[in-house]
Amino acid sequence: MKILENYTRKLKILGMAESTQAQYLSAFNSFLEYFEGKDSRYISKNDILNYLESLYDLGVSKSYINSRINAIKFYYEKVLDNPRDTYFIDRPFKDRKLPTVLSIEEVDLILNAIPNFKHRCIIETIYCHGLRISEVINLKVLGIDSKRGLLYVRDGKFNKDRQVALDDECLHNLRRYYNQYKPENWLFNGQTKNGQYSATSIRKFLQKAVNQAGITKNVTPHTFRHSFATHLLEQGVDIRVIQEILGHASSKTTEIYTHVSTRYIGRVKLRHRMSA
C-alpha cells in the first residue's frame, strides 16, 4: 500500500528508533482498517473523533488512545505536511501514578542478592547513572571514558546522546568486570561476543534477586532510574541538573520526583499540641 510506504519512509527519514517505527505503523494501520475503503486524505476531524470514541467504548487504556493519536497526527502533519493548527484532537488525561522508589538500603539488599557479578554490574550501572534499560544494553566499551570520568549514553530516548558522570565505585566494579569478561564491543554482551544483552534476561534475573531480598515492592529495571533521581533530589542536587542527567526534554517530567522525595514531603509537618 502506497500510504504505508510513504508513512514508513517518513519515519525513517526523521530517524525514529525501530521500536517507535513499529508502534506508529501498527497504530496507523489499525486506523486505516477502521476506515477501509475511504481515502485517508479526506477523513474529517469528526470522523477521527468518532474513531477515538469507538476506542473508548472498547475500554482501552488512555496510553493506547494516545498512541493512536500520535500516529494519526504524524500522518496528517508529517507525511501529508498539513499545518499543525488545522488538525487538533483533545487528548485524554494521563493517569498520574507516582513511581516506585527504593531506599538506598533496599538497593543494596537487591544488589547483594544478585550472585552473578556481571548481572550485578548491569543493575549497578543502571542505578548509579539513572539509565533506561535500553540505554544500558546499548552501552559500548568505548563509551567508558575513565580519564575524564564520563559515561557516554548513545541513542537514548528520541535518539538523544548524553554524557553522565561516572560513579567511582561503579567504575571500580566495571574495571573488575572488564578484566574478567573481556567485552569487545558492547559493554554487556549477550550469549555471543558481538551480541547485545537481552532486556528480557535483565528483567528475569532482577526479579529473582528482588524475591531473594524479600522486597515486596513492584521492582523493574526502571525502578532504579526512579530511585537514582529521587536520591539525588534528597541529597540536594538541583532538579535542573537531574533533568540533564536523565535526559528529560521537559523539567515537568523530572518534577514527578518531588512527589516521592522525603526531602520535600518531610518538610510538610503539622505543628500541633495535644490538649491535656
User: Which residue segments constitute the domains of the chain, with CATH numbers given?
Assistant: 2-86 (1.10.150.130), 104-265 (1.10.443.10)
Distance CA(100)–CA(110), nearest Å, equals 15
**Starting at the edge strand that comes first in sequence, how are the strands of the sheet with 162-165 ordered?**
144-145, 150-153, 162-165
Distance CA(43)–CA(170), nearest Å, equals 54
In DSSP terms, which residues pair with 196 in a beta bridge? Answer: 189
Q: Would the CA dihedral through 180, 181, 185, 186 be positive or negative?
A: negative
In DSSP terms, which residues pair with 162 in a beta bridge? Answer: 153
Res 91: pLDDT? 56
Per DSSP, 37 falls in state T
The count of other CB atoms within 10 Å of the CB of residue 225 is 21
**In contact, 194 and 185? CB cutoff 8 Å:** yes
Three-class secondary structure of residue 14 per DSSP: coil
H or E segment to which residue 150 belongs = strand 150-153
Segments of the chain scoring below 70 in pLDDT: 1, 57, 83-96, 155-159, 263-276
Catalytic residue numbers? Answer: 132, 157, 222, 225, 248, 257
Distance CA(214)–CA(63), nearest Å, equals 32
Res 36: pLDDT? 82
Helix axes 117-129, 104-112, angle to 10 degrees: 160
Distance CA(260)–CA(119), nearest Å, equals 28
* pTM metric for this prediction: 0.67
Res 187: pLDDT? 96
Cell of 67: 498512541
